[in-house]
Amino acid sequence: MTSDSTQTGTEELGRRAVDDATLALLLEVAGTPKPGNVDRNRDLADLRFETFLGGAVGAREGLELAAERDGAARIGRAFERAVAGMAARAGTNAQFGCLLLLAPLVRASVEAGATGDDLSPERVERVTEATTVEDAVDFYRAFEHVGVAVEAPPPGAADLDVRRGSDAAPALRERGATLRDVMALSADPASAADPDESGEATADDRVPDRNAREWVEGFPRTFRAAGWIERDAGPLTDRAARAFLGLLAAEPDTLVATTHDPAVAREASERAAELLGGPDERVEALSGVGAIDDAAVHEADLDAAESVAADFVDTGINPGTTADITCAALYVALRRGAEVAP
């Protein structure tokens, strides 16, 4: 039987994790400039700064479900409820990808804290590996609450098209596909490639789903960017903006590739790379997140990024997946001691 003190301690762990997740959502949208994204100085035609504030508040109930250490609430269910709450308060899709990353991170935080461990990629990996078919069903149901820009499913997987929502549940159950299995399908660019002769993008050209790759690779981009934020100085919103530029420079953005094409996504990364490393030392674009060191990110030129932000907004380039990972990185940094301070 759980003692009252233990129960109270677990509840406190969960509350603090949810507080940090909510704060991460708010800090992410407040960071500026994040070229092509909504921030505190910049709205888009169909999204406003306040939309994201409402979404962060609305998502809290789902995040609280993710913080239930006893597993009474499935991760998929927590995510679906967070998306439903976000949509109800924001009136649109503001933070779908952020919540997809935050749900397992919150659960992993509470589990780690209860055993005296630190939040780590290994701990998050255990959470994602434990997902079930019903988690996948919940994930698909979340698409009924908001519109999400997604690629068509790979050949042979039309019955798993996420745009089918709950209608895909029989196929998921028949295949025995867990939520992690679904993420693995999205994360593999080869599986989503069309034949060369079709004239469509091949496996080498396609930009994989970065959020799905976080799920199946142990959140390497999230933890790398969290380190940039932790070791940086100044307001967390500025640190977030610099981390955003580092992530975008390292790899092309999935949403940009989906709404435009892979070439445009790579060009956006090249623009971001030009802003890193100070005026006399530029960073090579598309070099991978592990190749970009702290100093290059910490020396990002946010003043110069303002003009890039204006260009991206004018041309409809919206690196939303990069913003999702920035939010997740902020959460990890907060859990590791980063603070909002004057």
CATH number at residue 100: 1.10.4200.10
Cα 260 to the center of its chain, rounded Å: 20
Higher-pLDDT residue of 116 and 4 is: 116
Both tokens of residue 179? 């939520």
Residue 2, in any domain of the structure: no
Is residue 202 over pLDDT 60? no
Which structural domain, as residue segments, surrounds residue 23? 14-335
Residue 256 φ then ψ, to 5°: -65, -40
Whole-number pLDDT of residue 6: 52
Residue 39 φ then ψ, to 5°: -145, -175
Both tokens of residue 263? 């070439």
Residue 205, in any domain of the structure: yes
Whole-number pLDDT of residue 204: 53
Distance CA 115, CA 257 (A): 41
Q: Read off the pLDDT band of 230 (50, 70, 90).
A: very high
Higher-pLDDT residue of 135 and 159 is: 135
pLDDT in tens, 90-122: 999 999 999 999 999 999 999 998 888 889 999
Count the domains in the chain: 1
Both tokens of residue 238? 């500025």
> Comparing C-alpha atoms, which of 60, 110, 97, 67 is closest to residue 81?
60
Distance CA 320, CA 71 (A): 30
Q: Read off the pLDDT band of 139 (50, 70, 90).
A: very high
Residue 341, in any domain of the structure: no
Residue 4, in any domain of the structure: no
Distance CA 272, CA 313 (A): 14
Distance CA 134, CA 98 (A): 21
- The residues near 154 (Cβ < 8 Å, ≥ 6 apart) are 185, 188, 191, 192, 193
Residue 66, in any domain of the structure: yes
Whole-number pLDDT of residue 201: 44
Supply the DSSP symbol for 153. Answer: P
- b vs e for 126-136, b when ≥16 Cβ sit within 10 Å of the residue's Cβ? ebbebbbbbbb
Segment 128-139 mean pLDDT: 96
Is residue 144 over pLDDT 90? yes
Residue 264, in any domain of the structure: yes
Whole-number pLDDT of residue 8: 54
Supply the DSSP symbol for 251. Answer: S
- b vs e for 263-293, b when ≥16 Cβ sit within 10 Å of the residue's Cβ? ebbbbbbebbbbbbbeeeeebebeeebeebe
Is residue 313 over pLDDT 80? yes
Residue 234, in any domain of the structure: yes
pLDDT in tens, 250-299: 999 999 999 999 999 999 999 999 999 866 677 889 999 999 999 999 99
Segment 161-167 mean pLDDT: 86
Residue 29, in any domain of the structure: yes
Both tokens of residue 211? 């959020």
Q: Read off the pLDDT band of 197 (50, 70, 90).
A: very low
Number of continuous H segments (helices) and E segments (strands) in the chain = 17, 0
Distance CA 330, CA 333 (A): 5
Q: Read off the pLDDT band of 226 (50, 70, 90).
A: very high
> What CA–CA distances, in Å, run from 188 to 25, 44, 168, 213, 214?
27, 31, 20, 8, 12
Supply the DSSP symbol for 42. Answer: B
Is residue 200 over pLDDT 80? no
- The residues near 262 (Cβ < 8 Å, ≥ 6 apart) are 201, 205, 206, 207, 252
Mean pLDDT in the chain? Answer: 90
